[in-house]
Amino acid sequence: MPYISELEPSEAAGAKSSTTVAWDVPKGITPGFNLALFAYSTLWGLFQFLFLSEKAQNFPVAGLILSSALDFVRFTVLMLISAGFVQAFWRRLVAQIAPVRPIDFQEALAIVLIISILF
């Protein structure tokens, strides 16, 4: 019996028709995926600051907005710079040592965003 990955899409679903199914799955990391990771990370950080931090309770609303905006800009700049470093590190060291392909900027950005969410 073949594994499910060895079957054609119509066979895997149990269909007996002769029509083929178009598998339009995007290859690689997309900008939309990175935008979703960025939005999650930003909203989680804002939630932690506004509702879980003792510091936010005594600030006026204008100060909270300014502080959040500055943190957003700082996070964005550091994230983009870090993604550039990760991409250069991967291309110059990891791809030379291990048999892996070089990564593009979108993939480096996804690595930085996932690490920022995890830690």
The answer to whether residue 83 sits within a structural domain is: yes
Domain region containing 98: 29-118
For residue 76 the two structure tokens come to 């964005």
The answer to whether residue 90 sits within a structural domain is: yes
* pTM greater than 0.95: no
User: pLDDT 10s digit of each residue in the chain, 119 long?
Assistant: 555 555 555 555 555 555 665 556 557 788 999 999 999 988 888 888 778 877 767 777 777 788 888 988 999 999 999 999 999 999 999 989 999 999 999 999 999 999 999 98
The single-letter DSSP state of residue 44 is: H
> What domain count does the chain have?
1
The answer to whether residue 18 sits within a structural domain is: no
Using alpha carbons, list the distances in angstroms from residue 22 to 32, 54, 69, 81: 22, 53, 44, 38
The answer to whether residue 99 sits within a structural domain is: yes
